[in-house]
Amino acid sequence: PAIMAAAIMTTVMLCLGALQIVNAAPPNIIFILSDDLGYGDYSISDDVNRTYSIPTPNIQKLADNGLKFHRAYSGPVCAPSRCTLMMGLHLGHCTIRGNDGSYSPLRSSDVSVAKALQPKYTTGLVGKWGLGDFGTTGYPNQQGFDYFIGQDSQVGCHNWYPLTIQKNQNDKLELNKEADITDASKCLGTNPTCSWVNDLVKVEALQFIKNHSTGPKPFFLYVSTTTPHTGNLEAKTGENIANWPTPLPYRNATHFPTLMNEQQYFAAAVVAQDIMVGAILEELDTLGISSNTVVFFSGDNGPDSHNFEVFDDPGPFRGKKRSLHEGGIRQTIAVQWIGTIKPATVSNHIFTFWDFMPTALDIAQIPKSQWPATDGVSALPTFQGTDNQTEHEYVYWEFCYYGNATGLLPQLYPPGWGQAIRYDDKDGTEWKAIRVSRQGMMLWNLTADISESNDIASQFPDVIATVEKFMNEAHEESQTWPSTNSPSEKCCASCFTHGGCGGVCSHPPK
């Protein structure tokens, strides 16, 4: 009887322990998003020429403490990427499919990850938004964020030293005085009197973490920077525009004496991004909440316009920002969850931006019956090291672009409305396909041809048939971002004014 009683007690204690784990308060969630950070610009990516290597020890620490997805994907450009990240939908379903949330803001019916988390989490956004301006249904406070400070519009985010920013219901909070930002020495010298917007982002992120580290609810914080971009961005007053680099401390922390200013400025902006990541990780340690906080880090799309030969920004991939080639959409995403994710894990699971929504809701212990519609799959099983991870049948993009998104390797598909598919065959072959205006499919085997150099569409008609099926089922027509069926039809990629960019994209439908 004594042995039986002890066994019963042990069973009861184990059941109670399991119940406590299930019912434990869910962890905080932080997503740090960098702007135009190339695949090769930070130290955690593989297959990169490191002749000139920008030091990113804090991003490296984040990956070393947790996991990196080396087959991760964003969107091809800023606003569409952010739409997929916030909405859990790929670009065949997202509200914003071109680079302008001012033109077609998120709708009141859209359910962002912040809105889905809000019943259980305190939600905050610091930095760049781009999915709806003040006064629209897409503004952060209308999309589930309890707190917002930063820049709401895609165009406004091109200004590194703005006169005003937005804070909740104040759409014109003064950040700088015009007299200061008309004089470079007052922003870029040894004793600056103006503010760099990304320093504000860092300060506000740390303050939000402090304010909510012991709150009644866990927090979700979206830290969306405008670093590194091209390494210098506007300081604009009226018609006066100057492209200014980061403040002096970041430039002093970067030592490439043989490089041109353009490359020095870019490296300084990457270093500034890394310092911000380090400050957040240090704050979590100081507050004793590192093991109860999941931290994600990623770039938002491929690198933009500078000399890619120095830092090998696109890595081994073709294309750059705005490209549907791997160089425009491929990321290495790092995730830290101390005590849950095994350190230094490298995952082969395909993780996309639209997987963040279901992953966050899974982490938050929100029942799947309460999830909004999503194209993503939760990566929580990968974090927990279990063998029941669901894989994507395929991943999908669409995007209109009439420029040439050539990186170190040239763009191979024509301009226009493009669609792309990535899927893994049962034998492990990594297929990638692109077509434009529903014409002329191109196909690559990424397993053997990571640079998408050899189009083998004619050799695999069965794969082409599968890809066409995927593309057709993934696309839902958008009135604001219409598709095309021939090269003669015009699509729209960027509007950048409330009036639109002309043609089919001149104004939203009524």
How far apart, in whole angstroms, are the C-alpha atoms of residue 418 and residue 216?
46
pLDDT of 491 reads 87
Structural contact between residues 3 and 334, judged by C-beta atoms closer than 8 angstroms: no
Residues 6 or more apart in contact with residue 316 via CB below 8 angstroms: 47, 48, 450, 451
How far apart, in whole angstroms, are the C-alpha atoms of residue 10 and residue 3?
10
Closest CA to 332 of 306, 359, 297: 297
pLDDT of 499 reads 47
How far apart, in whole angstroms, are the C-alpha atoms of residue 22 and residue 379?
18
**3-state SS assignment for residue 34:** strand
Q: What secondary structure letter does DSSP report for 106?
A: P
For strand 330-336 and strand 28-35, is the pairing parallel, antiparallel, or unpaired? unpaired
Structural contact between residues 356 and 335, judged by C-beta atoms closer than 8 angstroms: no
pLDDT of 242 reads 74
Of all residues in the chain, what percent are helix, strand and coil, respectively (each to 5)? Answer: 30, 20, 50
pLDDT of 100 reads 87
Q: HEC profile for 125-154?
A: EEEECCCCCCCCCCCHHHCCCCEEEEECCC
Token pair in block for residue 241:
């525009």
pTM of the model: 0.94
pLDDT of 493 reads 80
pLDDT of 14 reads 44
**How far is C-alpha 67 from the chain's CA centre?**
17
How far apart, in whole angstroms, are the C-alpha atoms of residue 254 and residue 270?
9
Convert the pLDDT of each residue in 208-226 to its tens digit. 999 999 989 999 999 999 9
Peptide bond into 228 cis (omega under 30): yes
Q: How many CB atoms lie within 10 A of CB 381?
A: 16
Along the 510 residues of the chain, how does pLDDT read in single tens digits? 555 555 555 444 444 443 434 458 899 999 999 999 999 999 999 999 999 999 999 999 999 999 999 999 999 999 999 999 999 999 999 999 998 888 889 999 999 999 999 999 999 999 999 999 999 999 999 999 999 999 999 888 989 999 999 999 999 999 999 888 888 888 999 999 999 999 999 999 999 999 999 989 999 999 999 999 989 887 776 666 678 899 999 999 988 888 888 999 999 999 999 999 999 999 999 999 999 999 999 999 999 988 899 999 999 999 999 999 999 999 999 999 999 999 999 999 999 999 999 999 999 999 999 999 999 999 999 999 999 999 999 999 999 999 899 999 999 999 999 999 999 999 999 999 999 999 999 999 999 999 999 999 999 999 999 999 999 999 999 988 989 999 998 888 877 654 445 455 655 444
pLDDT of 185 reads 87
Structural contact between residues 176 and 196, judged by C-beta atoms closer than 8 angstroms: no
Question: What are the angstrom distances between the C-alpha of 188 and each of 42, 180, 204?
Answer: 25, 11, 21
How far apart, in whole angstroms, are the C-alpha atoms of residue 10 and residue 23?
20
How far apart, in whole angstroms, are the C-alpha atoms of residue 33 and residue 39?
13
pLDDT of 240 reads 64
How far apart, in whole angstroms, are the C-alpha atoms of residue 115 and residue 100?
21
Residues 6 or more apart in contact with residue 56 via CB below 8 angstroms: 41, 42, 43, 44, 270, 271, 273, 274
Q: What secondary structure letter does DSSP report for 103?
A: T
